[in-house]
Each structure stands twice: as C-alpha cells, then as structure tokens.
Amino acid sequence: MQLNGQLRIIDQTLGALEREWVRNPGSVSLDGWGGQALISADLARYIYITDAHGIIRLSTRPDLIGADVSERDYFRNRAALPANDGRTLIGPAVHGAISKLWHVNMVRRLDTPDGRFAGIITAACDPSFLTGLYNAMGLGSHGMIGLIGTQLGRIYGLAGPGTDPLGGSISGSPMHAAMQATPDGAWTGPSATDGVERVHVFRHVVGQDMQVVVGIGRDEVMWVSDSWQFGARIFASAITLAVLVMMGALLRELHAARLRENSLNQERAKLEAANAELLAAKTLADAKSAQLQATLAGMSDGVLMVDRELRLMEWNPNFSDLTGVPREILRVGLPMEEALRAQAKAGEFGDVDVETEVTRRMELLRTSHQTGVTERARPDGRILELRRSALPDGGFVTLYSDITARKQAEQRIQYLAHFDALTGLPNRIQLDDRAKYAISLAQRNQGSVALMFLDLDHFKLFNDQYGHLAGDDCLRAVAAAVRDAVRTTDRVARYGGEEITVILPATSSAGASAAAEKVRSAVEALQIIHEGNPKCGGRVTVSIGVATAFVRQSEVASAMPESLIHAADNAMYKAKREGRNRVVTALVVIPPAD
C-alpha cells in the first residue's frame, strides 16, 4: 500500500541521516532534508535531532530548537536500550506541546563511536495523511482507514466517519482480536472505532508492530447477503414448521374426512352425527389450507412441493415467475416431466434437445437424494439458488431464491480488490503481480523490462481551482490517454492519487524513453486547461520517470519490483525539478546473487 511505502521511505531517510551523523556529528545539517523527494510533505512535518539529555539541537523547524523532550515516552524508550538496535520506533499519536498539532513520531537512536547513547533523530509525521488516502480510495460513505498497533491496539492514525481521538486504543475489541489472529487477512464485524458494521482488510506494516486497516461499510457491499440470510430464516421457520406441519395436518384431516364419509354410507342411522363431524373437519381443514396459502403467497421466494411420484402438490405465485413454468399449466397432480418440458421449450436450460434434457433431469430427480443447494442461471441473466429438502412421506420441497444482487455484490467486491474505482485501471495489487511476471519473463529470456512512473503537474492546484469533480474527470481522461498511447502488451495501473505507472515488458531503455515521450505528448494533446501550470502552456501536463533493468538468470529478481519503482519515482521527481512536462530516464542494476 502507499502508506506502507511512505513509512519505509521515511525510515530509510532517518537511517541515512543517522549514518551521516555517525560519520561527522559536528557538521550535520538538516538544511534541505525536509524538502527532499524522499520525505513526503503530506506525511512528515519536520525532523529534529536531540542530544543525550533530550534537548533539541537541530531541527527543520527553528522554533523547536532548545525544546526539552527528555520526558517523552519515545525518548525514554530509545535511551533505555542497552545499545542501538538499528530499528525505527513508531510512537503513538501525541499532541505537540509547541506545535499544538497531532503527530506520530518515527525515532531512531544515535550512539557515539564507543556505543554510548548520544540522543535521537525524529521525524514528526502528520496522521491526517490518512484522510487524503481515504478520499483517493473512494471507500463509500461508511468507509474507514486506520493505522493501528497490533499488540496494544493503539490508534496511530484514523480517517473516515470514526470519532475516536488519536492516541486511543481498541485493545480488547473483537476487531483487535481479528487483527492479531489474521495480520494479513480480512474480517467482517463492528469497527472498534465507531461500532459500524464493515468488511475489514488488514495488512501488516513490515518491520513494525502495526497494521493498516481498510474498512468498507457492510451495508454498502453486503446488503443483499443480509436480505438473503433473513429470507433463509423465513424459509427455515415458514417452510419447515408451517408448510410441512400444516400440509401434513391437512392431508391427515382430509384422509379422516374421506373415512368418515365412507362410514356415513354404511351407517345411515348415524347420518346426522357423521355429517356434523364432517362439517367440523372440513371447516378446520379449510382454515389450515387458508393459513398455508397466505404463508406461501407472502414469501418472496418461489416454493414447489411434489409427492413421491414427482407430481405437483403445492406451489406459490413466485414459483412461476422465478422458474419460467407457465401459470396456466400449473395444477395439483401435474407431473414434473410436463413442467420440465415447458421450461426446456422456453429455453430455460439453454440450447438443448428438449426430450433429451427432460429425460436427463427426470433421471436425476429419481436417483438423487433430493436434498442440497444448487445454483442455476436463467436466460435473462438472473441467478437462482435452489434449496431442496426431502418430505417425511416421500417427495420434496424446493425453495427458489433470486440471488442475482448478492452475486453482483460479490463480483463488485472482487473488482474493487483489483481495480481502481475512479479510472477503471488496475490497482497496486495487480501492479505488483504484473511487475513480478514481467521481471520473471525478462529473467527467463535474459532480457530487459522497464517501468514508467508519471505524475500530473501541479494537480493539487488544479483541484483547488476547478474542484474535485473536475479533478476526477481530468484523472479519467489522462488514464484513458495513457492506456491508448501504449502497447496492448504494456500494463497500466493507478499507483495512487495522481500517479500512474506503466509496466513495459521486453523493452530497452531507448524503447521505454520513446514510449514515455509518446505518453507525455498524448496527455499534452488533450489540451485540458490548467491556469495553475503557466510554465507548461496553461494546460494539463505530466512529468515522467522511466527506469529500465536488464535481468539475467543469476540476478536477484525478488528485489527488482521495488528497485524499479524507486528508480522511476526518483526520475519522475527529477523531471519535476527540471521544469516538468518532460521525461527523465534511469537504469537499474541488481547485484548478482551470492
């Protein structure tokens, strides 16, 4: 994820500063570090270095110099270590006494050459960075994204409708238990931050005791599943208890009535008493039949009941609507063979020979156990779920449920897991998979692979001036232009925000540079007005970085995707520094495996 990558970049920057301090403590300067491309201005607010007593001696914010942080938990934690462990501590969200802002501190220990504690180097990160990531992901009205500790459940950052303060904890909640059980998994339940039911996905931040949590409102992606579950409960109670019990009682009452009627013919002397009994039994049977009919008519699912001879005993109005069996042929005693023949003639089973299909399905009904759950697609595209249960006296009852909406919701969730909702481009998950495939192909052929990293110039100014709806339209137009400008074998993906990547398999450095220039020209040719970009003609333009790697079988291909992205990203920032609306190339060299 983008957040995971930003944290790694800040960690690497702090490590570089630590090494510079170790080489020459007296001449270290932070001038320029706060504005370098390695530090995202959206995430890191400032950097400072303290002495062994917790006094800030250097800072990218001059007003912090001289402040005392010796009582802060993160300073005490690093000072208490027996030696420098080379790791970065990410502390909980705190409210700055001087800055008056919430921030999360990323801290590394500084040691003298003889191993004594000499102070700390700290990057203060803005936890509201998650809000921008939340807005870019389009998680819906009940979505959320957070950065939460795995062991203690501390809230390092939170974006979305939740109201819990930064620095709080979700320890002891079901959500926290799910995070600990499946650090890189998924869980459905109430969010610990606000109690809203969501589908959550957890991703562990490598090297840290924390996870990135993304949640989508359960009512926005799974409302059909809830409806189906409720329908299933209705079926369990209404059919199992009402249909079977009442139908069995009805059949027994009718059978008793027929016996009494035969007895009436034999015993004329008891005619009046027997007739009274018959009338009472018929009244009771009619009442039970009316109850059964009202229950069946009120169900949203279709119901079919057949006897042991596979003849129709009962059905409801929705049975015809959901199965395609004409209403006019339905009657008590209708053989299932005739119902199947009507469905086959109407094309319900596809392009088949009618009699052959009827014979096949009748054989299945006679020989199967007549229970279980199956699914069937109708010609109009709807998907039915068939739940069949055996009756005590033979035959079976079948419930027909329309699960089309539930299937569509499942497909939508699957789509959002691999594609960007705004542009329709593959997302970073697919980018990683396709990059690995392109690299393995280049390694197998001892060839080359290139990656293009482009960013819209001054896009924040575009959004500020023309609004986010216009910004979304602009992103969609640029994404389409990029997709049309590259080869069908190249893979375009939205990396995040206004950043788009293109994987170019089997492409040389010269070929990649030419492809990037074609993409740059295609975006410029859109002629989208952008008054905030005057140096580039007042139009929307892109800066592009291209990295090319030559892969051999002896090289470490596992490190290649990250190296390619990092090199292309740096080249893109160089293009911006050199004036924007241009292409800058880079080569990536991977050392041979040991």
**Which residues form the catalytic set?**
498
Place of tokens 């691999």: 418
Distance CA 485, CA 314 (A): 62
Q: Which residues contact 522 (CB under 8 A, 6 or more apart)?
A: 481, 482, 484, 485
Under 8 Å between Cβ of 209 and 203:
no
Secondary structure in 3-state letters for 214-283: EEEEHHHHCHHHHHHHHHHHHHHHHHHHHHHHHHHHHHHHHHHHHHHHHHHHHCHHHHHHHHHHHHHHHH
Give me the sign of the Cα torsion angle 353, 358, 360, 361. positive
Under 8 Å between Cβ of 431 and 502:
no
Place of tokens 């100014």: 461
Residue 494, both tokens: 């939205």
Residue 129, both tokens: 């960075």
Pure H helices in 486-581: 509-524, 560-577
Under 8 Å between Cβ of 426 and 434:
yes
Under 8 Å between Cβ of 423 and 499:
no
- List, edge to edge, every strand of the sheet that includes 102-111: 56-59, 44-50, 117-125, 102-111, 89-95
Distance CA 14, CA 108 (A): 7
